[in-house]
């Protein structure tokens, strides 16, 4: 029983260690994220997304145009 618990904890730790870099890459923002409307519209790689509420609108990368910012 104790050996199974140790093996499970070890597998969890190894999984977390190897998944952390992948998770970090997914969270990194693109170069368009956080831009204001005027800045977004002047960048050829970005597009402004209008939402019903102005406060929910945002800037994002056009498909295939941006790589995550570092």
What is the pTM for the complete model shown?
0.52
Residues 6+ apart with CB under 8 A from 35: 43, 46, 59
Match 């050829």 to its residue by tokens: 44
Domain ranges of the chain: 2-61
Bridge partner residues of 47 (DSSP): 60
Nearest CA-CA partner of 32 in 55, 49, 53, 52: 49
Does pLDDT of 21 surpass 80? no
Q: Over the stretch 28-42, which tens digit does the pLDDT of each residue have?
A: 578 899 999 999 999
* Element housing 16 (H / E): helix 2-27
């Amino acid at each position: 029983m104790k050996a199974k618990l140790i093996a499970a904890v070890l597998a969890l730790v190894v999984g977390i260690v190897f998944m952390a870099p992948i998770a970090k890459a997914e969270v990194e923002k693109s170069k368009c994220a956080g831009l204001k409307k005027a800045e977004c519209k002047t960048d050829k790689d970005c597009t402004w997304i209008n939402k019903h509420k102005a406060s929910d609108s945002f800037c994002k990368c056009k498909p295939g145009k941006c790589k995550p910012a570092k």
